[in-house]
A and B are shown apart, each in its own frame.
Chain A
Amino acid sequence: MRRLIIKFIFLISLVASTYISILYSIFFHTEYLDHTDYMSSIHDKIKLVKSTLSPKIIFIGGSNLAFGLNSAEIQKQLGFPVVNLALHANIGLQYMMDSVKPYISRNDIIVVIPEYEQFYGTYYGQSELLKYLHTYPVGWRYVNWPQQYLNILKYSNLLIRKMLFSKIDNTPKAGGIYTRKAFNSYGDVTSHLSESETDQIIKSKSVNRTRIFKNCPGFNDNAILGLEAFQSYVNSRDAKFVFLFPVRKDSAYQQLYAQHLTVYLKIKESDIEFYSNPSDWIFPDSYFFDSDYHLNAFGRQVRTEKVIKELRKYLKDDPVFYRKHGISRQPFEFTILTSLFPNLLRCGNESKKIHSIGVKEQSYYFYANLISTKFTNAGIEGIRDPEGPYPQWNLPKVRWIDKSCAKINFKIEDRSRVIKLTMSFRPQVRSSAKMLILFNKKALKTYHLTDAENWYTDILYFIAQKGLNTIEFLNEPILGETSPPSSLFMLFKALSLEEI
């Protein structure tokens, strides 16, 4: 037995020393480094955060922030200089929080927007933490946790292979979206904003989101503890801690609902202060670029506006914050998306309607849920599959009715329920129309639509009975017509069915 143990230890030591020697020689030979790649932008970010005077806003998170924020707009709207430190979720939230501590000063606003995966498996970093440290060796001083060292060891062979293959791989220097040049002077990625719509759609298809969560099987309570500790640290530095949920693709949210809900509930139970909910940050798939977190130009702008609103909420709750520190700020103007995308909300009645139904509905409105996900057993007849968005015509994702009658059938299993039907629609092809909505063969409402430019938004409530229920959208003849055209020609940009 003794002989066996000695031999075994000798072999493992031999292999380990060889391995560490290879790793060491690679780590401290900087000629292997590509100074133009995505990760090397950390040098610029650190320089920026060091040189930015307080009070400043610092954003911490993964690529959901790197790709999805217009820091210039935030700076303009809120009057604070902004530093976006976000790079990659797999650097790990613990490391992100630890490494930003030296740069937090009095009056700063630290906005933490972690990806959901941070609460499952990436909290202590994965391969990207190693890449980060290879690129920025000074960062080793913030590696404080055993789990981080273990992960570094776990992923170290990736680095060795990359270096071993660097000669034969002969890959061109990083180009395209993921480069150091991709970032603007605030730390936001901007290189993807000019990507064509087709490229974006192709790239967004390649995302395998279940694989991401396979890496992270169980909820990591340390992430909550770490966030609470960081919140205390920020407050102790007389700065403001802001926690927001990340943006998420609607389909990803639906698919991984349980994981998202767990994160929300755990945060709710914790001492972490937060105002908005995950559902406020769920955007339609069409707002995303090449991952479930990377927003495209349009999505980025919508998210930026929402972040501005949220930050205002945080700061409004603490008016002393301004007076106490004597910070000058810009007038508190309410800018909504219409200022940037006038055509999207250009309908008088509708915008009123939106405001009357509250913030949640407003956010809902922007990611028009076109039925299938919220009310899973609904069967749809006569309404075409969702398509778009078509930015060239200012159209978000839409569904068409090009039949004279369309139906939504849905089953109620046990007892009668109150159902909410939310719609935003307008005639297409024809300039005016009359649409009758029937519920279980009884007339519910008739709409006289006289403007094909404006969207009509309405919410109807009705009681659905146990069994099969049917909502019908019928074509009615308008003034001067003896019989209606054979098709209704209606375009829906929002169509949602929810149980109340």
Chain B
Amino acid sequence: MFFTSVQYYIFFPIIFLIVYFAENGWRWLVLLLASVYFYYSLDVPYLLLILFLVIVITYTVSLLLEKTEHNGNKRALFLFGIALNLSILLIVKYLPFLTKSINDLFVIIKWDRSLPISQQLFSVGVSFYVFQAISYLADIYTKKEKPEKHFGYFSLYLSFFPKLLSGPIERASNLLPQLHSRYSFDYDNIRCGLLMIAGGLFKKVVIADRLALYVNPVYNNVNDYSGIAFIIATYLYALQLYFDFSGYTDIALGTARIFNIRLTQNFNSPYLSTSISDFWRRWHISLSSWFRDYLYIPLGGNRVGTVRRCYNLLIVFFLCGLWHGDSWSFIVWGLLHGVYLATSVIVKPIKETIHGKIGLENTWILKVWQWFITFNLVCFAWIFFRANTINDAWHIITHMISGTEGVKSLLLSQGTGELVVTIVCLMVMTIPLLLRNKMDSYNYILGKPLLIRWSVYFIIVLNISIFGLFNSNQTFAYFNF
């Protein structure tokens, strides 16, 4: 059961009605059972076992951490908890990649040995809740949070179904108190939640899946295209990924909102960023803030010297790339962002001096220029993110300025009508973003007069019905991570 399936839209209203009529004391149980069923509905029984393991390990370690007085023991226990969680992630997600890489290394050093390559497991959601578990342990260890004593509430914290598959990666300080709070019917929350779900569905099935129709043929058959087709596909992929993931997030946030729970916002117009560091403050915010708080700052953050800071950035973004998947292209993507940021740290003083001297500081020309550069650097890195292999990515980069082969057939592959719908949808979604750099455009709509509000509702739902690609078999991109 995914957010775009019919079953989900039968499942969650039923859960809502049960929660609405249930006693306050049992709501956690309803939501927990719903979450278990939601995960179970993926038809991969071992995923439930993995989730259960992570819950039990993290819960036990967190309670022991609280009881342990001795600093050394506490540290060892904390590291043990982290190691267990990371081992689960490693086994489930990275073991095949690791063994394959070691075997490749054996071939390179001409050592006649090979490790048996294990089967790739379906690991949807695992990296999200393992990271959530690690952040929880870290918060307990640093005494930012007190451990949750109630096993049920703790299990729900890790497994709450709207954010189970692809986040946001929630902090205990945000989610746990909301899970404990008494439920009361809130018309505005439900109205906003439903609008967010509709908006998210629109982004996913009308825009992202439609863009995929133009991106996939190019990235899956790189030898059949060249030059302009690669550039178009890369820009479109940047938009596809944004609409896909932010669409997913809107549905997750909307669903949670209906249960009076506000999850963390994951996006804030990331493609309007004027620097790479700005981009990471706006893109997949729950992940980037996780890396910032639990890795970058403990490594020294901005308090260390330039060289050490650059080194830390590379480490953080190497791991950020690895988190996204067990392939070298993700690692290169992560490292590329690390290099961007390290470079910006080095050249920032020079840049500022130049801007000051030529009088460009705080001018709109500079802003547009910075936006242009940032957007293109991000798009360039997406090539590695999307390409099926490193070789494909390299082929695309080296053939980007090599003609127009396949452009016309690509653009007209779905017919003129679909192309027009794609362009109109992009314009409709992009213009408000450019005009309003606001995090919550849904509240903006809800604040409008009745006629406008209802027109928007009607247009969104009707457009989803007519232009939604419900049969495209595109899962959410971030389910893979």
Contact = CB atoms under 8 A, between A and B. Distances in A.
Interface of A: 1, 3-4, 8, 11-12, 14-15, 18-19, 22, 126-127, 154-155, 157-158, 160-161, 164-165, 168-171, 211, 214-215, 217
Nearest to B187: A4
A168 B461 contact: no
Given A19-B465, A19-B466, 12 more contacts: A8-B194, A11-B458, A11-B461, A15-B465, A157-B465, A157-B470, A161-B466, A161-B467, A165-B417, A168-B420, A169-B416, A217-B43
B397 interface: no
Q: Which 5 A-B pairs have the closest CB atoms?
A: A165-B417, A169-B415, A15-B461, A169-B417, A168-B416
Contact of B190 (A4, A14, A164): A4
Contacts of B187: 3-4
Contacts of B106: none
Contact of B467 (A3, A15, A157, A211): A157
Contacts of B454: 11
A22 B43 CA distance: 37
Contacts of A215: 471, 473
B26 interface: no
Among A15, A19, A126, A217, the most chain B Cβ lie within 10 Å of the Cβ of A15
A171 B412 CA distance: 11
A16 B421 CA distance: 21
A19 B416 contact: no
A290 B470 CA distance: 26
Chain A interface, >50% SS class = helix
Interface string B457-476: 11001100111101101000
Interface of B: 20, 43, 185, 187, 190-191, 194, 415-418, 420-421, 454, 457-458, 461-462, 465-468, 470-471, 473
A214 B458 CA distance: 32
Q: Is the interface of B mostly helix, strand, loop or mixed?
A: helix
Given A4-B190, A11-B457, A165-B416, A127 B473 contact: no
A168 B418 CA distance: 10
A354 B417 CA distance: 56
Contact of B417 (A3, A8, A127, A168): A168
A183 to B, nearest CB: 25
A214 B415 contact: no
Contacts of A165: 415-418, 420
Contacts of A14: 458
B191 A4 contact: yes
B185 A1 contact: yes
Contacts of B473: 211, 214-215
A160 B466 CA distance: 7
A472 to B, nearest CB: 23
Contact of B471 (A3, A15, A22, A154): A154
B172 to A, nearest CB: 31
A161 B468 contact: no
Contacts of B470: 154, 157
A158 B43 CA distance: 29
B211 to A, nearest CB: 16
B465 A161 contact: no
B455 to A, nearest CB: 11
